Amino acid sequence: MPISLITGATAGIGSAFARRLAADGFSLVITARDADRLEKCARDLRLRYGVGVEVLPADLATEHGLESVERRLRKDVDLLVNNAGFGLHGTFPESPIEDELRMLRVHCEAVLRLTHAALPGMLARGRGGVVNVSSVAGFFPTGTYSATKAYVTSFSESVAQGLGDSPVRVMALCPGFVRTEFHQRATLDVSGIPGFMWLSADRVVDEAMRDLAHGLRVSIPSKRYKALTALGRSIPAKLVRRVGQAVGVRR
């Protein structure tokens, strides 16, 4: 039975990945900061899908947390989903530097280190994959959150390019607005975002798994966001900033 490790697995896109992969017959290793919430998620997944679920509490903003997940990845994981992440209330440099550094570590250092820990075993076995959850925000310079997600996308594309014709796949998943608790946790005002811009987490994951199977290096769920990011890649920087502001959130 294949094994998937999912970071940030207790809510939103991470939880949707856990449900989808359990339904597909994966055993799971789920990780997040809240041990009690992890245990509850594990019980629900075991009961509903009859799969093995290993719980690994870890704060990826800490060295101890990163090292514990790295050690697990060096064993027998077939699919890594780097999903853990968060937003900040306030713009740079208004937000505390400690919060900015924490976001940088979770979004960038953790993605790099966990991918680095997982790939050697996958390459040795000749199978496996890594999904790094990025964001459409990475195509629009609207703050340090978008800057970290631009890194995740570029990093994933670069690693995938380096793997060449290997059967092991690395993909950046770049969703737009998804109905999760992400914005509420960051106290971001999304009241001005029109309904048609929102996606469900389950839809995002379904499209991601399809795109991974097809060997895509960047997955952008829905036609509307594919069009929006194509626009962001082709128009002048000044217009990109205006589009970013138009689809942004109030803090």
Task: Give every CB contact of residue 8 below 8 A, 6+ residues apart in sequence.
Answer: 14, 31, 32, 83, 84, 85
Structure tokens at 3: 């094994």
Taking Cα atoms as reference points, which of 165, 141, 161, 162 lies closest to residue 151?
141
Q: Which residues are catalytic?
A: 145
User: How many Cβ atoms sit within 10 Å of the Cβ of residue 30?
Assistant: 28
User: What's the DSSP call for residue 36?
Assistant: H
User: How many Cβ atoms sit within 10 Å of the Cβ of residue 230?
Assistant: 12
Structure tokens at 70: 């790295």
Which helix (H) or strand (E) segment is 173 a member of? Answer: strand 169-173
Instruction: Name 171's bridge partners.
Output: 131
User: What's the DSSP call for residue 136?
Assistant: G
* Residue written as token pair 């607005």: 177
Please state, in angstroms and rounded to a whole number, the distance separating the CA atoms of residues 51 and 43.
10
Three-state DSSP state, 218:
strand
User: How many Cβ atoms sit within 10 Å of the Cβ of residue 210?
Assistant: 12
CA 215 to mean position of chain CA atoms: 17
